[in-house]
Amino acid sequence: MKAGLIQDPMVEAMGNFMTRLSRRQQVVASNIANIDTPGYETRDVSFHLTMQEILSGDSLPLKTRKPEGGLLQGWTPIPSEPEVFETSGLPMRADRNNVDIDREMLKLSETSFTYAVATQLLRGKFRTISSAIQEGRSG
């Protein structure tokens, strides 16, 4: 990875992360819109796995793995589209819909909050660069 101001791995990783978060927001919006649609199954974006990879440090740029994969196997390079899967194990209603509104609302605020954290981190990064450009006179 080239080390530069803009090709910074952290910036790139955060970009990927935010793309994935906004994809997740789409999927959650889709789940909420279909709360009363018979036969609709809850979907989710593999997201916590991605967070774990970020924390594990050496996996930049972001990678993903299949949710059913083992702990240390099944790692694949990041696809352009984050993986979307149908959540299993949720209790299904009589109309074969398994959207749990509380769960979706929780995911909604969780995604929104995490996105805010990511933007704050990026903002800090660009502030640092800005500070360097202005020789530390003002942020």
Partner 1 sequence: MSLMTAIEVSASGLTAQRRRLEVLISNLVNANTTRPAGTEPYRRKDVVFTASEPQGSFESAFGEAMGAVRGVEITQVVADRGEPARRYEPGHPHADKDGYVLYPNINAMEEMVNILSATRSYEANVQATTAAKEMAVKTLDIAR
Helix then strand then coil, in percent of the chain rounded to 5, is 50, 10, 45
Reference 126, options 14, 3, 5; nearest CA is 5
Least distance in Å: CB of 126 to partner 1? 7
Least distance in Å: CB of 89 to partner 1? 18
Nearer to partner 1, 10 or 116 (CB): 116
Nearer to partner 1, 56 or 101 (CB): 101
Least distance in Å: CB of 105 to partner 1? 7
Looking only at the bridges linking them, the beta strands covering 75-77 and 84-86 are: unpaired
Site of interaction with partner 1 (CB under 8 A):
18-19, 21-23, 25-30, 32-38, 40, 43, 81, 84, 101, 104-105, 108-109, 111-112, 115-116, 119, 122-123, 126
Nearer to partner 1, 51 or 101 (CB): 101
Reference 24, options 131, 92, 52, 32; nearest CA is 32
Nearer to partner 1, 56 or 128 (CB): 128
- Output the DSSP codes for 58-78: TTPSPEEE-TTS-SSS-EEEP
Cα distances (Å, whole numbers) of residue 32 to 25, 26, 107, 110, 117: 10, 10, 11, 15, 24
Least distance in Å: CB of 119 to partner 1? 4
